[in-house]
Every structure is written in structure tokens, then in C-alpha cells.
Amino acid sequence: MYRLTALVTCLAVLTYFFSSVQVARARRTYGIKAPAISGNPDFERVFRGQMNTLEWMPIFLPALWLFATHVSDAVAAALGLVWIIGRILYMTGYAKAANKRRPGFAIQASAAIILWAGATGAILWHLVHP
């Protein structure tokens, strides 16, 4: 069972849902009617924070689960929490100013890369050493 990884997966989806709520609020605040996605730089940064999170989900989630199944549930979950923290810092920083997104991006990208590299390394190891 991979209960910790499952919990972190739920938290990651909740984080994405939170970003969707932020976009809806920003639409009201800045008067951007759907389906428009431009017109106010403050709205556009909130929107891009959500979209960038969505773009990272197909990178993060498979790496998270492959790491959990081939390396460690607990370590995968811990790295998953780091990814979530990075995403939150990214979104909140980006909403303030484009240049404030970098620390969060670096944190979440590092966590995702470690998950991917660890999973890939473990899978290759098991292929070579059955």
C-alpha cells in the first residue's frame, strides 16, 4: 500500500483546485470575463500560475508514483510535499510579480527531477539486476 503517496496525490490535486479558485477570484477582481485569458497583467500572472501548475502535473504525478513503487512510499511522499510547497510559493510569488516566481519554481522543479531520476535509476537498476 502506498498510503502516504496517495495522500500527497490528493493534496497535489487540492493545490491545483486552489489555483483554479484563485483564477476565478482574479477574474472577478480584474473584470476578465471567460473565455478571455488576457487583458490585465495581474490576472495573467494568476492565470499562468494555474496553467503552469497544470503543465507540471503530468511530469510530477507519474514520477511521484514510480518513485513510490520502486524506491520508497515515505520518501516519495516527502518529496511530493516539497513539490507542493514549491508550487504554492511559485503561485503566490508569481501573483505578486513575475520575477518572484523563481524560488518556488526551483523548489518544485528540483523535487520533480529527484523523483524522476530516482524512479528511473531504480527501474534501470532492476532491469540490469533482476
Q: Which of 45, 48, 87, 101 is catalytic?
A: 101
Fill in the amino acid letter for 56.
W
User: Which set of grid coordinates corresponds to residue 129?
Assistant: 539486476
* CB proximity list for 10: less than 8 A, separation 6 or greater: none
3-state SS class at 31: coil
CA–CA gap between residue 53 and residue 96 (Å, rounded): 16
The answer to whether residue 27 is catalytic is: no
The answer to whether residue 45 is catalytic is: no
Closest to 88 (Cα-Cα) out of 42, 56, 43: 56
Q: Which of 3, 28, 87, 102 is catalytic?
A: 28
Most distant CA pair in the chain, distance: 59
The set of catalytic residues is: 28, 101
